[in-house]
Structure 1
């Protein structure tokens, strides 16, 4: 299907309005008389999260089974473009197999505070590293024929008040820190889409920020793809279209269409501006709509093994005081902490994957070391200090050469949607340690 102005002229005003508004939760609109199918997009920065329900945004229903790859917070520690490119290829294969046209991710916002609730989903506090690894990742996904939506554009670095806050800064700070990773990806990858964020910059909402979405992104950087909103980020759809936003996601159904039709009829929005957004939606679907009509199987076991190797290449040993590691085969050993039995290997929220396979640390250790004992030490779902659990763990620890403690945040303290209030581990874990 040739995408041009002649094709757009075949569409009614109502059809154009439908195309710039998301259909259901994960799809673009289709138009039967020009043989345009709707196209699916889905979350996937660390693994495919194709939802079972069209209206399920944050994983209340199970998504399809997929490999959960290490989070970006870990893979960035590899400093390895080749590995990130391979990760992209694996994600592209998974998305293509499920007829997903655009994968939402990676997130390349900077880590500006260790309290930020979504740090697990972002690469780095360093804009150069974030840009380099994101470019490699994007190229891998798109080489498999699946588009990518890099997010969240821009200066969206906290979760608390993310819908209402304004990120205020001078021009140099904006350019050298917050825009730099996006500029790198746009200029080095033929990026399918960019997702604009909820926040404002210097008082102007990003979804209707013409300087951000048109002057900088398109005119300065030469971006040719589509700009979509984060889910629910559009406050004024007409103002957003004028500023350079092409696709409101997920759309408000008939209300989204009606407001666009009314704006054109009232001459508050020119049909030329609307047509430009429609062209970009049509081009995105033409470029990235999967060709296969059926789900195609792929090698989940191979992807799981890649995920394991990528995690191993990314681990960072912070200290090895007194050469405590490696643990010797003749060292007596105990494992302490409920996280050894119930590992947290991904963050909560829209990146949550229905994992194909999870290796339980305690099981793996005890398979290799049948003499290794285990003590709970604390309860993950209750921060209350349990002295009996602690004393039992301490008594056991005194009787062995080496102790491995599993500690960390429960999901209730670390997820999309809110920031941490403290860097401290839960009280019961601190007391245990």
Structure 2
């Protein structure tokens, strides 16, 4: 190579086989060790909101228990805090626990965009907005890495659904790719400087993410100047050599030497330049030597202090959605507590981020400890669905004896999990029936919600108060109690829009894709960018969240680099306010959202206290991605700076005029009529293909094709004989587990159903050989 590599001396001593060995894991969680060269093994492990280090049998889906660790609120919850300092603090606590267990790489945070409310992993992601996602993720990364542990942002990129995630081709236009799906990663990488990034399972516009040269070479290593390591998601390798060429260094987990041989053969045949392999080895060695256990900032972990921090994080992240007639705080009123989640909290998601908490609060006990006048508790409904007149009747009778009724509703553990998407945005029927019956006999109802994603709330007009706890981690019970009683003033703001119904969601007609492709026909109009631009009513807007006090906004000033205004607490409670900055072009000749979030800050104020707050502007504040010029540009014109408490509660405005690219009415193409008129639910093939600039593949599987390595058991349903038998056995297993009350295990069956055949030899470490797999496929393809 023309330049001396950082670890050239070590590489000179390595055999070709040793170099290849370093490019894959030694086992499920560790990199390879080469003791003769003093190259140690380092450990990578989950997760985004708590340490999931498995002491026994390893797995990727949370099946086997991990060592106890603090379970902090999930990303979907923390995002509602809009608190960058809090995210840094949580990150530092995560890093400290990881370092204490000799974990070198913590696999998180996840910052994919919440394209659709039904995505099974939305609880692991921050927001529908890339700016908010990126800014918060950057702080979490900095906090984790302050302890010497490497953070690993994921899943790069466009991992928008769990359905067929290991084979699906996410088809998205370049503008949406850059502005929506990559922008959060850019911010997190440029500001947080993570040492590792994880590629997603899916394809992006026809190429697997892990071997996608546009994503990895052109953008990540090229434009963003990333200097860290790229690791596959577990089992996310398709073609090992293509992945190396594109920029990947590390395949996880171990493939039992299968892909090591592929690398050696590629070098020997001339397909892969050994100098490029040397470069990847050097890049990985940098990570290994910087994060090996002696380099980590270790110290004694005070688990009680970490639990207190988890409680604090939950308090700052919960959202007061409704408070009619100031029904909250609950005060001295007698209270009936109803709902299974009050005693058995739903506090985290499922799958690879499943944490074994060090302790666990519940709301009922926390309310009792605070001296609330509780007349009784009733379970109210079966947690996993199904009618119970006995439970419902008990709840209705209890409610009659209380001044106020607090009802805990939400999504159960099987509703949100890695590997499977939700099939509805609704709460279970038994919960809806209960709240409707309660509303008939009681006028003072407060609902506490649990869940990691948007849900429909048709009963909102029937209740006076509503607190959304999201998935608040192991301290959520105490946090909810403090908010209900007024010990803590809620300050969370929604990081996603709550539509009136699922059909209103811009991606609803196109989600979750079909069999081959997932077409992002809504383009840039994700979340509030659609609802606000199309002037569609919503239940709760992006950025919404109430407080027990009120804030006054005054004195807006704007210059080239910053915006300032004064915030005053004019109420009776001390509290925090999230000040949000939106940019609105007054006139535009290009396709763009009505307005976009481009800044925020959180400020605490005592009653009658006022402070001047400042929000920085940057080069991307006014820009859009010009696909013709292949770069970010500013459109010339007048822009309105809007400061508010939510996207629908703008308090201050100021206009500025900017120089930039001159655009014309000619750019309003007739071939994109529905896009420009925001008829996003009715995008035709012709319009979408024109926007893409190419024709995507047929979204359906070829029913007559021979199944191969990149096909799945799910496709066996179109075959006869063994293929169909395997499909129905897998499906029957899932249904049986559901009937046995094991929803998490049932969900994990879908991982097997949708796993490409190519992964069987690799996941089995060669116990099922490629020759055996070839014979299996031959039998499947006989019919």
TM > 0.5 fold call: yes
Q: Larger relative CO (CA 8 A, sep 6+): 1 or 2? A: 1
Q: Equivalent residue for 2:109?
A: 106
2:410 aligned counterpart, secondary structure: coil
Q: Equivalent residue for 1:342?
A: 344
2:165 is the alignment partner of 1:199: no
Q: Equivalent residue for 2:411?
A: 409
TM-superposed CA distance for 1:36, in Å, is 1.0
TM-score, length basis structure 2? 0.54
- Deviation track 1:170-199 (CA, whole Å, cap 9, x = no partner) reads 111111000001111211233201100011
Q: Equivalent residue for 2:359?
A: 357
Q: Equivalent residue for 2:426?
A: 424
Contact map agreement 2:199 2:231 (CA 8 A) in 1: yes
Q: What is the rounded CA distance, in whole Å, between the counterparts of 1:91 and 1:389 in structure 2? A: 40
Aligned residues: 430
Q: What is the rounded CA distance, in whole Å, between the counterparts of 2:342 and 2:20 in structure 1? A: 52
2:73 aligned counterpart, secondary structure: coil
TM-superposed CA distance for 1:296, in Å, is 5.5
Q: Equivalent residue for 1:154?
A: 157
Contact map agreement 1:335 1:362 (CA 8 A) in 2: yes
Q: Equivalent residue for 1:280?
A: 283
Quickly say closer, same or farther: Cα 1:217–1:378, change in 2 above 3 A: same
Q: What is the rounded CA distance, in whole Å, between the counterparts of 1:255 and 1:136 in structure 2? A: 38
Q: What is the rounded CA distance, in whole Å, between the counterparts of 2:326 and 2:297 in structure 1? A: 54
Q: What is the rounded CA distance, in whole Å, between the counterparts of 1:327 and 1:384 in structure 2? A: 31
Q: Equivalent residue for 1:392?
A: 394
Contact map agreement 1:25 1:54 (CA 8 A) in 2: no
- Deviation track 1:214-241 (CA, whole Å, cap 9, x = no partner) reads 1110111100011110011111101111
TM-superposed CA distance for 1:297, in Å, is 3.4
Q: What is the rounded CA distance, in whole Å, between the counterparts of 1:325 and 1:298 in structure 2? A: 37
**1:140 is matched with which residue: 137, 140, 143?**
143
Q: What is the rounded CA distance, in whole Å, between the counterparts of 1:362 and 1:116 in structure 2? A: 30
Quickly say closer, same or farther: Cα 1:294–1:244, change in 2 above 3 A: closer
- Deviation track 1:101-145 (CA, whole Å, cap 9, x = no partner) reads 011000010101111111111111110000100111111111111
Taking the TM superposition and a 5 Å limit, the aligned residue runs for 1:9-408 are 9-53=12-56, 55-291=58-294, 297-329=300-332, 331-367=333-369, 368-369=371-372, 371-381=374-384, 383-408=385-410
Q: What is the rounded CA distance, in whole Å, between the counterparts of 1:233 and 1:256 in structure 2? A: 13
Q: What is the rounded CA distance, in whole Å, between the counterparts of 1:32 and 1:189 in structure 2? A: 33
More strand by share: 2
Quickly say closer, same or farther: Cα 1:31–1:54, change in 2 above 3 A: farther
TM-superposed CA distance for 1:370, in Å, is 5.9
- Deviation track 1:45-87 (CA, whole Å, cap 9, x = no partner) reads 1111111135322222221111100111111111111110111
Contact map agreement 1:385 1:431 (CA 8 A) in 2: no
Q: What is the rounded CA distance, in whole Å, between the counterparts of 2:64 and 2:403 in structure 1? A: 45
For structure 1, which runs of at least 5 residues remain unmatched after alignment? none
Q: What is the rounded CA distance, in whole Å, between the counterparts of 2:374 and 2:289 in structure 1? A: 59
Q: What is the rounded CA distance, in whole Å, between the counterparts of 1:364 and 1:370 in structure 2? A: 12
Quickly say closer, same or farther: Cα 1:195–1:292, change in 2 above 3 A: closer
More helix by share: 1
Q: What is the rounded CA distance, in whole Å, between the counterparts of 1:15 and 1:302 in structure 2? A: 44
2:294 aligned counterpart, secondary structure: coil
Contact map agreement 1:24 1:55 (CA 8 A) in 2: no
Q: Equivalent residue for 2:603?
A: none
Quickly say closer, same or farther: Cα 1:54–1:390, change in 2 above 3 A: closer
Q: What is the rounded CA distance, in whole Å, between the counterparts of 1:157 and 1:75 in structure 2? A: 20
Q: What is the rounded CA distance, in whole Å, between the counterparts of 2:173 and 2:62 in structure 1? A: 37
Q: What is the rounded CA distance, in whole Å, between the counterparts of 1:206 and 1:371 in structure 2? A: 54
Quickly say closer, same or farther: Cα 1:241–1:54, change in 2 above 3 A: farther
Specify the structure having the higher radius of gyration (Cα).
2
TM-superposed CA distance for 1:26, in Å, is 0.5
Q: What is the rounded CA distance, in whole Å, between the counterparts of 1:371 and 1:378 in structure 2? A: 19
TM-score, length basis structure 1? 0.96
For structure 2, which runs of at least 5 residues remain unmatched after alignment? 436-783
Q: What is the rounded CA distance, in whole Å, between the counterparts of 1:3 and 1:173 in structure 2? A: 37
